[in-house]
Amino acid sequence: MSTTNTASPQGGPARGGPARDAVLGRVRDALALAPREPVTVPRAYRTGRTLPDAERLELLTDRLVDYKAHVHPCTAAGTAATVAAVLNERSARLVGVPAGLDPAWLAAFDGEVRTDSADEPAPGLGALDGVVTASAVTCAETGTIFLDGGPDQGRRALSLVPDLHVCVVDLSSVTAGVPEAVARLVPGRPTTLISGPSATSDIELERVEGVHGPRTLDVIIRTDA
């Protein structure tokens, strides 16, 4: 019995065959029909929607709880006490914070605090019990928190490596919808979108938390900031 081995132009075995040729042919046909000049894409997104403070708080809380996040409303004056209470409830004794975080927020916490920045990264992020950050903007409709790497939010690694993320959100930074939230972001900044604690599902749809980010998300919402 003889065997024929068809080689590719690069010297290896041929791959794809007729199916590959058909796909590449369709790609070539599509490219031939594509415009040669840049196309202006309409950006007339729906913006300007607003909701009263009480409704935004209720909607955001509902979405966050649905994502299995923990919500803690407080006043601006009660921020330090609320942060300390959350950290103590989670038995967090070693906590990381971004360099620009308001130190008054940790004034009532009696554990160890390590400051992290791009210039001076905190050693051993994986050893931290948790991290406390602020936020850039939050969408009530989707329950999504946006971090943009600002001084009070820090590096992306800081909020992804520790198993607990305590995020402080000012109600004044909460928008009704996604277009309104995106409009508040600064183009070019590294944006992280957080919708509840990190979770994924395997092929049997069993939920597993903490795979690629914090297992626990506590959101402190300052209602009068």
Domain that holds residue 74: 53-222
Q: How many domains does the chain have?
A: 1
Establish if 98 belongs to a structural domain. Answer: yes
Ramachandran region of residue 100, left (φ > 0), alpha (ψ -120 to 50) or beta?
alpha
Strands 130-133 and 94-98, sheet pairing? parallel
Establish if 36 belongs to a structural domain. Answer: no
pLDDT digits (tens, 9 = 90+) for 5-53: 444 444 444 566 889 999 999 999 998 888 888 888 887 878 889 999 9
pLDDT of 197 reads 87
Q: Would you call 157 helix, strand, or coil by DSSP?
A: helix
Establish if 164 belongs to a structural domain. Answer: yes
pLDDT > 70: what percent of the chain? 92
pLDDT of 159 reads 95
CATH number for position 215: 3.40.50.10420
Least confident span in 34-38, 65-69, 122-126: 34-38
| Contact of 177 with 46, CB cutoff 8 Å | yes
d(CA 86, CA 108): 11
Establish if 38 belongs to a structural domain. Answer: no
What residues contact residue 139 under an 8 Å CB cut-off, 6+ apart? 146, 174, 175, 176, 177, 178, 180, 181
Establish if 42 belongs to a structural domain. Answer: no
pLDDT of 16 reads 65
The model carries a pTM of 0.79
Residue 175 has pLDDT above 60, yes or no: yes
Establish if 108 belongs to a structural domain. Answer: yes
What residues contact residue 96 under an 8 Å CB cut-off, 6+ apart? 113, 114, 115, 116, 122, 125, 128, 130, 131, 132, 158, 162
Residue 3 has pLDDT above 80, yes or no: no
| Contact of 129 with 91, CB cutoff 8 Å | yes
d(CA 104, CA 110): 13
Q: Would you call 78 helix, strand, or coil by DSSP?
A: helix
Establish if 205 belongs to a structural domain. Answer: yes
pLDDT of 9 reads 46
pLDDT of 156 reads 94
Establish if 73 belongs to a structural domain. Answer: yes
Q: Quick one: tokens of 52?
A: 């009263």
In the predicted model, what is the mean pLDDT of residues 203-210?
74
Q: Would you call 192 helix, strand, or coil by DSSP?
A: strand
Residue 68 has pLDDT above 80, yes or no: yes
d(CA 79, CA 29): 60
pLDDT of 15 reads 61
Residue 54 has pLDDT above 50, yes or no: yes
Task: Please give the single-letter amino acid code of residue 217.
Answer: L
Q: Quick one: tokens of 183?
A: 């409009």
Residue 63 has pLDDT above 90, yes or no: yes
